Amino acid sequence: QKPTVVITGASSGVGLYAAKALAKRGWYVVMACRDLDKAQKAAQTVEIPQGSYTLIQIDLGSLQSVRDFVRVFRARGLTLDALVCNAAIYMPLLKEPLRSPEGYELTMTTNHLGHFLLCNLMLEDLKKSSYRDRRLVILGTVTHNPDELGGKIPPQPNLGNLEGFAEGFKEPISMIDGKAFEPVKAYKDSKVCNILTMRELHRRYHESTDITFSSLYPGCVADTPLFRNHYPLFQKIFPWFQKNITGGYVSQELAGERVAQVVADPEYRQSGAYWSWGNRQKKNGKSFVQQVSPQARDDERGVRMWDLSAQLVRPM
Ligand code: NDP
């Protein structure tokens, strides 16, 4: 029997190509997507073989939808051998925050809180699986880390003391640190939370469950639709800049392949690791375990993030 992987946001970009790469490796892929028609078409376009995938609806920007997803997944009698938290939104031009049905700022909800809840619920499914090598992988990014070249461009992420979470994260609050709304920072903050979540999962559950928890920076995938909400000119220049100036550019195929490696290949069975192929893509460049940013490796902050996120995702 094929091992089963759930991939969130598999309707485009890195998630779509990760689905394709894992199907090719013999995995059964559950594409967890908000728009099933779009996901179905995308799967056909990149020729993921029929019979190697299924679709289940999820809107990570709604905590109720995350719960519904898990219910449907279980009702269909599926087992879970790996989970990939990949979906994300990036909305750099927003002037005012968008809100989830719960009233939380939407970028942080979609990228972090929705996945935080999903990981906590689906940990039970992973525990039940008898697969020999279960993994939970969360997508990271270089922009989470101001110590890296790619992370130096302002606004830099800063969780502060998570004042915004502590105060309930609803109107008028829109940022985790309780400060003024800044959509680019909201994205970067959410990616710091993604890495903290991975590290806390590792610290809390690796020893007792033998599940591998890890993250990766797949490289700069400058032509995914992630940048669809940016200025059109940016969407033209950014891939060119990454290809010719920084050398950080990777194709969607390669990024998907890297995710598949971290999910399935024996070399990547290292829990708590953050994998990178570096900022400049060299031919046949090798991956390595990279240190994450000071805030993303701050265990105390990790515990606070965990406790406050758990409060925010609690059913109301
Ligand atoms: P895309 O925009 O191409 O893909 C994002 C996916 O997330 C889409 O399938 C999208 O669905 C889905 N999604 C968005 N909102 C929701 C929601 N509310 N519920 C369910 N699914 C949702 O971006 P990328 O492929 O570039 O990004 C994927 C991951 O890779 C992200 O975690 C990103 O942070 C990370 N990453 C990307 C880099 C890059 O350079 N592109 C670099 C480093 C990391 P829909 O198709 O319906 O919009």
pLDDT digits (tens, 9 = 90+) for 79-111: 999 999 999 999 999 999 999 999 999 999 999
Give the E-state strand segments of 42-201 in sequence order. 53-57, 82-85, 135-139
Strands 288-289 and 273-276, by their bridges, are antiparallel
What is the reported pLDDT for 87? Answer: 98
CA atoms of 209 and 284, how far apart (whole Å): 34
Higher pLDDT, 147 or 160: 160
CA atoms of 277 and 303, how far apart (whole Å): 28
What is the reported pLDDT for 223? Answer: 86
DSSP state of 227: G
Q: Is the CB of 298 under 6 A from ligand 1?
A: no
Percentage of the chain surpassing pLDDT 70? 100
Kindly give the distance from the C-alpha atom of residue 128 to the centroid of ligand 1, in angstroms, as a whole number.
28
What is the reported pLDDT for 247? Answer: 82
| Mean per-residue pLDDT, 189-207 | 98
What is the reported pLDDT for 279? Answer: 76
What is the reported pLDDT for 316? Answer: 67
Average pLDDT in the chain: 95
What is the reported pLDDT for 282? Answer: 74
Question: Which atom of ligand 1 approaches the CA of 228 most closely?
Answer: 2
Q: Is the CB of 89 under 6 A from ligand 1?
A: yes
Neighbours of 289 (CB within 10 A): 13
The strand order across the sheet containing 82-85 reads 53-57, 28-33, 4-8, 82-85, 135-139, 212-217, 273-276, 288-289
Residues 309 and 113: beta-carbon distance below 8 Å: yes
Question: Which atom of ligand 1 approaches the CA of 14 most closely?
Answer: 25
What is the reported pLDDT for 38? Answer: 98
pLDDT digits (tens, 9 = 90+) for 24-59: 999 999 999 999 999 999 999 999 999 999 999 999
pLDDT digits (tens, 9 = 90+) for 218-259: 999 888 888 888 888 888 888 888 888 888 889 999 999 999
End-to-end Cα, the chain, rounded Å: 39
CA atoms of 28 and 213, how far apart (whole Å): 20
Kindly give the distance from the C-alpha atom of residue 110 to the centroid of ligand 1, in angstroms, as a whole number.
10
What is the reported pLDDT for 53? Answer: 98
Q: Is the CB of 173 under 6 A from ligand 1?
A: no
Nearest alpha carbon, ligand 1 atom 3: 13
Strands 53-57 and 135-139, by their bridges, are unpaired
> Among 30-44, 146-160, 255-269, whose mean pLDDT is lowest?
146-160
Closest to 256 (Cα-Cα) out of 27, 3, 1, 2: 27
Kindly give the distance from the C-alpha atom of residue 256 to the centroid of ligand 1, in angstroms, as a whole number.
12
Q: For residue 201, is pLDDT > 90?
A: yes
Q: For residue 161, is pLDDT > 70?
A: yes
What is the reported pLDDT for 310? Answer: 98
